[in-house]
Amino acid sequence: MNNVVLGEQVIGSPLALAPMVGLSHSALRTLVTEIGGAGLLFTEMLSASRLPGDNPKVSPLLIKCDQERPLFYQLYLAQISVIDAAIEKIEQLGGEGIDLNLGCPAPQLRREGAGVYLSSDHPKLIAILLALRKKTRLPLSVKIRLGESSDKNKFVDYCRMLEDAGVNLITVHARFNTDKFCRKPHWQWVAYAKEAVNIPVFANGGIFSVEDALNCFKVSGADGLMLGRGAVVRPWLFCDIAAALKKGEVEKRVWDRKEIFNRFFELLQLRFEGNRQLGRLKQFTTLYAESFTFGHSLATAVQRSQSMQEAKNKADQFFEINPYLEETK
């Protein structure tokens, strides 16, 4: 398992936790860090224009602890004018890197011309990347999609343009701009990016098991992998992938799902105010419950809960009835 060098930052494990709205907060980042295997963490998507005014002691988007490192802050923006203040805030917060979101197709970002919509305006994008690069020495990464159409040459030229503008890491979400998560990712396109540039390239999309990870490495030739929903379904997946990369074989391990759920519950209470806990628990549990049989019963029980205590009581009842949980395929 090789180190990944991003500017002046050395990443010890080629496995990253993706920026996910409502999920990649301090509690989940701490959980996967405690279990082990992840080498790079990302914040949730942050508005560059609002970031300077946010209080890191209060904002659920900025709350963190010292063990959540290295931590890259993901920004979305469409105007150069907001860059200086945003970068100054990230450096004050001790961020180890900056990620520019170029892959999110959310309607909010469409209205602002950010995310995947910024990726189609190359002159503006280049100007923004050059301004980011001029403002900071922190590693600069981007998360991209494959584009509007299956034009390999256009995609390769796009990746080279990003490198030329000073980007240190390209993460390729291996789906086209309009593809939904249910569509199978095109990992072979990551190989096109890897062959085209001289900076590290990470693959993202469709990685839910150790076998998925090893196959993605084989098909894409990527320097690393970014795990999103798969890391919520199985927070131990980083640890299992790292072990497989080190030992050269897949090791089947049994993880205590009740213990991991309870630890996440505890971390939510440690990190967030009371009114910001239950929604995050529900969002986590909906995915987490997919990892084992009868998990839908747990997800439904937590979703119907009106308080954290009610959710905890129902979870305790579920795990008491189902002490031996078989993993789903």
Say what percent of the chain tops pLDDT 90.
Answer: 84
From 1-15, 196-210, 224-238, the region with the lowest mean pLDDT: 1-15
pLDDT at 326: 62
Contacts of residue 125, Cβ cutoff 8 Å, sequence gap at least 6:
102, 118, 119, 165
- CA trace torsion 212, 217, 219, 225 (10° rounding): 80
106 vs 30, more confident: 30
- At 116 the three-state DSSP class reads helix
From 179-183, 202-206, 288-292, the region with the lowest mean pLDDT: 179-183
84 and 119 Cβ atoms separated by less than 8 Å: no
Q: What is the mean pLDDT of the chain?
A: 94
- pLDDT confidence band for 315 (50 / 70 / 90): very high
pLDDT at 251: 74
Average pLDDT for residues 245-262, to the nearest whole number?
85
Average pLDDT for residues 241-247, to the nearest whole number?
92
pTM tops 0.85, yes or no: yes
Q: Is residue 323 predicted with pLDDT exceeding 90? A: no
Average pLDDT for residues 187-207, to the nearest whole number?
97
Q: What are phi and psi of 201, to 5 degrees?
A: -125, 125
| Tens digits of residue pLDDT in 150-176 | 889 999 999 999 999 999 999 999 998
pLDDT at 324: 63
Helices (H), the chain: 26-35, 83-92, 107-112, 122-135, 152-164, 187-196, 210-220, 229-233, 237-247, 257-271, 278-288, 295-303, 308-321
Pairwise CA distance, residues 247 & 287, whole Å = 29
Pairwise CA distance, residues 251 & 32, whole Å = 18
Contacts of residue 166, Cβ cutoff 8 Å, sequence gap at least 6:
129, 130, 132, 133, 140
Average pLDDT for residues 307-320, to the nearest whole number?
96
User: Among residues 120, 215, 253, which one has the least CA distance to residue 177?
Assistant: 120
pLDDT at 250: 72
Q: Is residue 278 predicted with pLDDT exceeding 80? A: yes
Q: Is residue 301 predicted with pLDDT exceeding 90? A: yes
* CATH code for the domain defined by 4-247: 3.20.20.70
pLDDT at 3: 85
Q: Is residue 96 predicted with pLDDT exceeding 90? A: yes
Q: Is residue 253 predicted with pLDDT exceeding 90? A: no
| Tens digits of residue pLDDT in 15-72 | 999 999 999 999 999 999 999 999 999 999 999 999 999 999 999 999 999 999 999 9
What are the structural domain ranges in the chain? Answer: 4-247, 257-321
